[in-house]
Amino acid sequence: MLIRFRVKAVAICTNTIFHCNGFYTLRSQHLYSSASTPTHFLVKYLVDSLGFSKQEAASTASKVTSSKTSKNPDLVLDFLKQTGLDKAQMKEIVSRVPKLLFYDVSKTLKPKFQCLVDLGLSGSDLVNVIAKDTTIVDRGLDTHLRPTIDLLRRTLCSDENIVKAIKRFPWLLTFGAHHAMETNLLLFRDTVFSNVRIKKLVLRYPRYLTQKSGWVKDLLQRVENDFRVPRDSPCFLQGFEVLSSQKKSTLKRKFRIFNSFGWSDDDVVKMFRKLPYCIALSEVRIQKALNLFMKECGFGTAYLVSHPAILAYSLD
C-alpha cells in the first residue's frame, strides 16, 4: 500500500516552492526549524541579511502577512544592491515598506526604477531620492507614478525641472492622489497665474499642490478680497505665499501691534499690497521696527506705508 504524506509544517525556508496536486517540493538556502512560523523566518532573515535588531525585525515583520513570505527576498536585495543602495539604505527601505521584499523584481520593481531612470534620475541621485522617500517603490506604476510625472511634466515644462523638484521634494511622487494636484493647478490658472509663475511656485513651494483644494481656494480669495491685491499684481504670488504661512490668530496679533502705533487696518492692508513680506516678520521684529522708526526716528505712518521696505531692513 502506497502511503503519501502531505507537507503541513515547512522545515526549510524556500527560495522556490513548487506545488502539484497538494504536494510541495522545496529548494532553499536558508534553514529554520520545523516549529518556525513565516514571521519567525522573516525576523531571522532581517537580522541576518540587513542587520536589524531582533526588536526592529519583529516590528517590521509584523507588518507583513504570512502569505507573502512564499517569495524569495534575496532577489529583491540583490536588485537593490545592483541599483546602488548600500546596506543601511536597504534596511531603511525595508523597514518602511517590508512587503517590498516579496515584490516580483522583473514585473514590479524594475519597471518602477526604469521609469525614474528614463525621467533623468540615475546613480546617486536615484539612490538618494528612493532613500529619502521609500514609499516611492510602493506606489503603482500606471496608477500613480506615471500620471504624477505626466502632470509635473505639463506644469514644469521639462524633465530637467521635474528632476530638480523631485531631488528636493521626493514626496511629490508619493503624495496621495494626483487628481488633487491637478485641481490645485486649475485653481492657480483660473486666478490668472501664468505658466511661468506656476512653474516658479511649484519649484519653490510644491507643497501648495498637495494641499486641500478648499484651503487653496480660500487663501487665493483672501489675498484678492481681504487684502485687495489684484490678481495681475506682481505681489499676488508673494501675498499668497505669506498668508499661507500665517495663522489667522497670528495675523490678528500683528494687526494689533500696528494698531498700537496708530496704524489703521486699512494702513496695514495698503502696506501688504506693496510688500506682503512685512506681515511675515515676527511679532517681536515688527514691534522693534516700529519702535525704532516711529518713536526714535519720527517717521509717520503714511511714510512707512508708502515705503514698507524700510520695515524689512535689518535693524543692525
What amino acid is encoded at 197 in this protein? R
Phi, psi of 51 (to 5 degrees): 75, 25
Q: Lowest-pLDDT range, 149-158, 190-199, 282-291?
A: 190-199
Output the pTM of the full model: 0.65
What amino acid is encoded at 196 in this protein? V
- Give, as one character, the DSSP assignment of residue 106: I
pLDDT digits 0-9 by tens, 78-123: 998 888 888 888 888 888 888 888 888 999 899 999 999 999 988 7
Model confidence at 32: pLDDT above 50: no
The pLDDT of residue 40 is 81
Q: Where are the domains of the chain?
A: 248-316
- Give, as one character, the DSSP assignment of residue 109: I
Name 162's Cβ contacts closer than 8 Å, sequence gap at least 6: 119, 120, 149, 152, 153, 156
Cell numbers of 199, please?
Answer: 512653474
Phi, psi of 115 (to 5 degrees): -60, -40
Residues 188, 154 contacting (CB under 8 angstroms): no
Show the DSSP H helices in 157-300 as ranges. 159-168, 178-190, 195-204, 213-221, 236-244, 248-260, 265-274, 277-280, 283-290
**Mean per-residue pLDDT for 235-250?**
91
Angle of CA points 200, 202, 208, to nearest 5°: 130
The pLDDT of residue 33 is 36
Cα 8 from Cα 185, distance rounded (Å): 56
The confidence band for 2, taking pLDDT boundaries of 50, 70 and 90, is: very low
How many residues are listed for the chain in this entry?
A: 316
The pLDDT of residue 192 is 67
Calculate what percentage of the chain has a pLDDT beyond 70.
85
Cα 286 from Cα 311, distance rounded (Å): 8
Cα 112 from Cα 105, distance rounded (Å): 10
SS3 71: coil
Cα 50 from Cα 91, distance rounded (Å): 6
Nearest alpha carbon to residue 26 among 9, 47, 40, 45: 9
49 alpha-carbon distance from chain centroid: 29
Between residues 130 and 34, the one the model is more confident about: 130
The pLDDT of residue 67 is 56
